[in-house]
Amino acid sequence: MKPTASYRRFPRRPALIFLLLLLVPALPALAGVRVVNPLIHEQAVTPGARYEGSILLENTGESPCTIRIYQTDYHYSAQGKSTYGTPGENPLSNAGWITLSDNWLTIPAKATARVNYEVRVPNNPALRGTYWSMVMIEAIGNQPARARTEDGFTLQARLRYGIQVLTNIGNTGTRRIRFLDRKLIDNGGEKILQLDIENTGERVLFPSVSVQLYTAKGELIGKFHGKKIRILPTCSVRQQIVLPNLQRGTYKALVIVDNGDQFVFGANYDLLIE
């Protein structure tokens, strides 16, 4: 099955593995602590503006827990790689605009606490589009859980939350995407169209992705949907859209990336089922 497209042993030794939980709707408690409010904070402002936000934490455990709060940059790709760089390393980082109220915090058992932050946007008329960084919440007070595998490796999990802080400069910034790769996958007879999509513009996008599938004669078979997900500038995501059972032959697919406003992007594909 080939889609074509045109578009408008190392020696055994203990190992330490840190697990990062980010942007998952239903996250387990982090050493008894959870983030109560959303994990994406987004605000539209003008250059020179100042605004405040807060991160609400709850200790659901039976003992006090110490939390470390710090900043990183953030970048991700469709291949599943996420990078948490030095704050301000990314040219589109707003980490230097953010001041945290606390870097360490101890939350009593069964109590809540709030980490406040202030964002001061430079008074620079050249600013445009979206700027972002991460505020990391990491539990320090309890020892990380350990487990030993059959191969003799020791897994040590230290969990942390990442809260994205996005600053949009008004309604400015170009909106553009690029289709990086496309692949038709046969998963036990189930056909999946896999698309890698990159945000090549200046502003965050939050599009829905769908595929209108047609026979070679142009007869509509149906419309099939992927997941709606944010794509930050210079970042990319992978969408997998399940298609119906298809007999051998050639089909035409119209991929629509709809940002929910006047910005809609499309790609035409020929899908060959062998």
Q: How big is the chain, counted in residues? A: 274
- Given this model, what pLDDT does residue 247 score? 87
Question: Are residues 259 and 175 in contact, defined by beta-carbon separation less than 8 angstroms?
Answer: yes
CA nearest 154: which of 11, 12, 19?
12
Average pLDDT over residues 161-168: 97
At 173-211, the pLDDT tens digits run 999 999 999 999 888 778 899 999 999 999 999 999 999
Question: Are residues 78 and 61 in contact, defined by beta-carbon separation less than 8 angstroms?
Answer: no
Distance CA 75, CA 96 (A): 17
- Given this model, what pLDDT does residue 114 score? 96
What is the pTM assigned to this prediction? 0.82
Choosing among 2.60.40.10, 3.20.20.70, 3.40.228.10, 3.40.50.10300, the CATH entry for 174-273 is 2.60.40.10
Distance CA 149, CA 26 (A): 27
Q: Where in the chain is the domain with CATH 2.60.40.10?
A: 33-169, 174-273
Tell me whether strands 160-169 and 40-45 are parallel, antiparallel or unpaired: parallel
- Given this model, what pLDDT does residue 198 score? 98
Per-residue DSSP letter, 93: B
Report residue 32's pLDDT band, with 50, 70 and 90 as the boundaries.
confident
Report residue 20's pLDDT band, with 50, 70 and 90 as the boundaries.
very low
What's the sign of the alpha-carbon dihedral 165, 71, 27, 204? Answer: positive
Q: Residue 220 pLDDT more than 70?
A: yes
Number of CB atoms found within 10 A of residue 99's CB: 11
Paired tokens of 131? 């700027």
Contacts of 257 (CB under 8 A, 6+ apart): 177, 197, 207, 208, 209, 264, 265, 266
- Given this model, what pLDDT does residue 159 score? 75
CATH homologous superfamily, domain 33-169:
Immunoglobulins (2.60.40.10)
Burial of 175 (0-12, 13-18, 19+ CB in 10 A): buried
